[in-house]
Amino acid sequence: MATVDVVVVAYNSRDELRGCVEPLARDPAVQVIVVDNASPDRSLEVVEDGELPELPPTTEIQLMWIVQEALNNVRNHAAADSATVRFSTEDAELVVSIDDDGCGFTPERRARTGWPHFGLQTMRERAEAVGGRFEIESRPEGGTQVRVRLPLPQSNGGTQ
């Protein structure tokens, strides 16, 4: 397995995002995390636990958008002081977790009120589209943890 570099890209416009992310996303040795309008009032830590696998491009892109949506939720809803994005492997899976110390909520009681509140469902659909699972743990006043579990790519004599 190759080591993956994690790059955090903060941007202020979609054009700026495209200019930064598209070249990076083509490199299988780079994992891109996108942070829209990063805030000096909130700390963001990115942690790599161990050696991370190369992912198929489609999986990388879906994962990038899941992480971005989770961080957008931290920014817009959590009233958090800090967030951590953690990449690790366990039980033949890549696990990406986004944790915050914010206000939390009760996921089961989250009413579907229509547009534009489709973020959690969209993250779940993105994970499932690439063979993964989406999990969320949260409780009022207890912060939130979003986890994406993706099967590790099977190597076939060094090629995929």
First to last CA, the chain: 11
Q: Is the pTM of this model over 0.75?
A: no
Q: What is the pLDDT of residues 16-60, one digit of tens each?
A: 555 555 555 555 555 555 555 456 667 778 888 888 788 888 888
State how far the Cα of 73 lies from the Cα of 96, in Å rounded to an integer.
Answer: 16
Q: What is the pLDDT of residues 81-130, one digit of tens each?
A: 888 889 999 989 999 999 999 999 887 766 555 545 578 899 999 999 99
For the chain, which domains are there? 5-151 (3.30.565.10)
Which of 116, 133, 47 lies closest to 82 in space, CA to CA? Answer: 47
Cα 104 to the center of its chain, rounded Å? 18
